[in-house]
Structure 1
Amino acid sequence: MIAAALLGAAAPFSAAAGEKDLTDKGEMLVRENCARCHAIGLTGASPLKEAPPFRTLSAKYPIENLAESLAEGIVSGHPDMPIFVFETPEVDAIIAYLESIQVTPEPAEPGIPGE
């Protein structure tokens, strides 16, 4: 009975560890495949000015909606963007990582009238 209680108490920690592993795998995948153009962390500018930082993607797209594109091949209007196709476990990891880094963009400062 004590063993069952201990196992039950450890379950939330096990789930959190699994999520961390998935997020870490996603970070590794975007670092290997995307970091040459995109800012992939919580700070910093994208190496390629036209490439949006991944931490702001949710301002334009629901992150979970990117899963299909990741699995079928992201095609961009940008000619330098390579086409990437990921397997389901990789897509899950990338989505988990992207969701973990999303930030709310700061509102733009209103301009001074007459400028």
Structure 2
Amino acid sequence: MPGRLGLQGFALAAFLLSFAAPAVAVEKDMTAKGEVLVKENCARCHAIGKEGDSPHEDAPPFRTLSSKYPVGDLAESLAEGIVSGHPDMPIFAFNAHDVEAIIQYLESIQDSPSPR
């Protein structure tokens, strides 16, 4: 009987993982979408990855944003249009789905966790 219970346990685990896998895939897709969005809109001034310098001297590397504030706090500014930042920064406004993707991407590249 131990073999049978093991097979049942394996089947149960596989069944439960079938629900978790799509959630992980969606999160990866959102992070990838966020990366594309920041590449298209921000990379000419900001370092958008886990290393490298920003092309624009006054533009902070995105991986350091969490050292100043929680990255999630950018959501409202991204949706309404960021008007601060470096002095010559253009104004960007994103839809809610894009904001979620950008935030997920930014959180994935931070050097350190956001402050509470």
Task: Determine the C-alpha separation between the residues in 1 that align with 2:97 and 2:67.
Answer: 25
Q: Percent identity?
A: 66
What's the TM-score, normalizing by structure 1?
A: 0.82
| Displacement of 1:6 | 4.7
1:21 aligns with 29
1:83-106 deviation per Cα after TM superposition (whole angstroms, max 9, x unaligned):
0000000000000000000013xx
Q: Mind listing any 5+ residue stretches in structure 2 that lack a counterpart?
A: 1-10
Q: Which runs of 5 or more residues in structure 1 are unaligned? A: 105-115
Tell me whether 1:37 sits opposite 2:51 in the alignment: no
Matched AA of 2:80 = E
Aligned to 2:6: none
How far apart, in 2, do the equivalents of 1:41 and 1:94 lie? 13
Alignment of 1:28-107 (within 5 A): 28-76=36-84, 78-104=86-112
Contact 2:59 2:86 in 1 (8 A): no
What is the total number of aligned residue pairs between the two structures?
Answer: 103
If the length of structure 2 is used for normalisation, what is the TM-score? 0.82
Question: Which of 10, 13, 16 is 2:18 aligned to?
Answer: 10
More helix by percentage: 2
Could you tell me how far 1:7 is from its partner in structure 2? 4.4
Deviates more, 1:5-14 or 1:77-86: 5-14
Look up the SS of the partner of 1:84 in the other structure.
coil
RMSD between aligned residues: 1.8
